Structure 1
Amino acid sequence: MDILTIPNYLLLFFIMYFILYLNAYFILFRTWTRKLRPEASSCIISLAHGTPAVILASYAILSDPTRNFDSPNTSFQNLVLEYSIAYFLMDLLHYLVFYPRDMLFIGHHMCTLFVFMTCRYVVFHGAYAILMLLILAEITSLCQNVWTLASARRSDVKFAARVYDLLSPPFYALYSMMRGFVGPYFVYRMFVFYLSGVANNVIPKWVWISWISVVVTAISVSILWISNLWIELYSERMKKVESKKKNR
């Protein structure tokens, strides 16, 4: 049987992420403090998911000649959905174990899982829309995870501080463009299409309304987050300028 015809790889992908997480926690970051090791290990599985997911989702979309907001999921699109579902399940487990009070990220992951799982296991349509959103969300994954790891060690490792300072402006700019402009435009196109009612026979109204609501909320929170980072960056740069003036 061809690998892509096997319907469910969710368990296999979850085990892969689980093993990767354990290796990162107990081997790769064994010298890091207990406070930093969980977050760093989460970054590693995010790296394993993000960029590959962008590549896989792009191929899954481009290889489907009938792609549209209401087109049936292809076998490969379902495989990519399972790849992402497994990641979010593993990262949700990470938050439940180490950060059980972080309701923002726990809620984000649960809502994201709802969108992916209804697309994959309930309506079997709409993967084009969901995978496009996945691409727009994960295209910044590489920058974000390197930035996060550098941020975690910038106070005690000079190289990490340099990477953080160098990477912050381009990462913020790319993230702002994806979450502030490209993402909202695509969600608008989704909304207009589904509102027309042409997809109601394959994607019930309650499903697509839920999808739109989750995505709009996620984008709004992302815009707030990146806005705060821009403010922090500006404040840090101004402090450095003032410090140089005083030392002259």
Structure 2
Amino acid sequence: MDFGILISSLHNLPIFFSMFFVIYLTAHFFVFRNWSSKLRPEAASCLISLAHGTPAVFLACQAIFTDPNHDFASANTDFQNSVLEYSIAYFLMDLCHYLIFNPSDILFIGHHLATLFVFLTCRYFVFHGAYGILILLILAEVTSFFQNIWTLASAQRAESKFAAQVFAVLSPPFYALYSVVRGFMGPLFVYKMLVFYLSGAADTVIPMWVWVSWICVVVAAISVSILWISNRWLDLYRERLVILDKEQKIR
């Protein structure tokens, strides 16, 4: 590997990281300054997630559609590399947040480290395969806007009637969208990736240990996502049962 090329290619990453750092500080000390000190860090994390998620979806879509080589082994374009750097910067910033404020949250820290491994190896080690990685990024972040609004509403619903209403209204459609994307579309796309890599078509540009690692990370992430959304559906079911029970007692 030419480390001179590697160092010169890092010029976007500090800029993107600085942007997310400023957004995080702005959220912590200004946007959510009236929130309790316990909730402010989580809210700040949600704001940088909002700044990353939806823009990343549009950027990744543009990076894919402007590349004529829709192939799991095709070389990364400059635009695709920039989108990867954008996401790397976000996950680095959010990882810092978890290490400082939630060091015991091993699940999220592990998720961020695994995701960074995939993005970093694709961007700075093999320089190929961004097409598939960006599709996965789209599938992961297409629900980001709703999830962050849902998370903020959940954090405030005990103190705000409006937040409680937003949480109640948003939960079913958000759960449904998340279930379709993570429970059906994600696994289907990973299956297509696996079939392609097993054919050996990418072996000359993406070492086997790299793509095997990618598949393992994505399968683990999807499995955790399915478990998470299953628990949310169960929580919603239990909450509805409690409401029905109260209504029956009133009658």
Which residue does the alignment assign to 1:29?
32
Shift of 1:67: 1.8
Q: Distance in 1 between matches of 2:145 and 2:74?
A: 30
Q: Distance in 2 between matches of 1:194 and 1:34?
A: 47
Which residue does the alignment assign to 1:155?
158
Q: Deviations over 1:30-89 (max 9, x none)?
A: 111111000000000000000000000000000000121000000000000000000000
Which residue does the alignment assign to 1:240?
243
Q: Indicate yes or no: 2:187 matched with 1:184.
A: yes
Which residue does the alignment assign to 2:73?
70
Which residue does the alignment assign to 1:138?
141
Q: Deviations over 1:72-114 (max 9, x none)?
A: 0000000000000000000000000000111110000000000
Q: Distance in 1 between matches of 2:229 and 2:11?
A: 36
Q: Indicate yes or no: 2:219 matched with 1:216.
A: yes
Instruction: List 4+ stretches of structure 1 deviating above 2 A.
Output: 5-8
Q: Number of residues paired by the alignment?
A: 244
Q: Distance in 2 between matches of 1:186 and 1:207?
A: 18
Q: Indicate yes or no: 2:94 matched with 1:88.
A: no
Which residue does the alignment assign to 2:101?
98
Aligned-partner residue type, residue 225 of structure 2: S
Q: Distance in 2 between matches of 1:169 and 1:247?
A: 25
Shift of 1:8: 3.1
- Give TM-score scaled by structure 2 length: 0.96
Q: Distance in 2 between matches of 1:162 and 1:127?
A: 40
Q: Distance in 2 between matches of 1:140 and 1:115?
A: 20
- Select the residue among 206, 224, 229 that pairs with 1:226: 229
Q: Distance in 1 between matches of 2:225 and 2:11?
A: 31
Identity over aligned pairs, percent: 67
- Is the Cα contact below 8 Å between 1:8 and 1:79 reproduced in 2? no
- Is the Cα contact below 8 Å between 1:7 and 1:75 reproduced in 2? no
- Give TM-score scaled by structure 1 length: 0.97
Which residue does the alignment assign to 2:5?
none
In the alignment, structure 2 segments of 5+ residues that lack a partner are 1-7
Which residue does the alignment assign to 1:129?
132
Shift of 1:9: 0.4
Task: Mark the CA change 1:122 to 1:6 in structure 2 (over 3 Å): closer, same or farther.
Answer: closer
Q: Deviations over 1:108-165 (max 9, x none)?
A: 0000000000000000000000000000000000000000000000011000000000
In the alignment, structure 1 segments of 5+ residues that lack a partner are none
Q: Indicate yes or no: 2:118 matched with 1:110.
A: no
Q: Distance in 2 between matches of 1:137 and 1:24?
A: 23
Shift of 1:229: 0.4
Q: Indicate yes or no: 2:21 matched with 1:18.
A: yes
Shift of 1:6: 7.1
Which residue does the alignment assign to 2:199?
196
Q: Indicate yes or no: 2:55 matched with 1:52.
A: yes
Shift of 1:12: 0.1
- Is the Cα contact below 8 Å between 1:45 and 1:87 reproduced in 2? yes
Which residue does the alignment assign to 2:4?
none
Q: Distance in 2 between matches of 1:219 and 1:6?
A: 31
Q: Distance in 2 between matches of 1:148 and 1:6?
A: 35
Aligned-partner residue type, residue 228 of structure 2: W
Aligned-partner residue type, residue 174 of structure 1: L
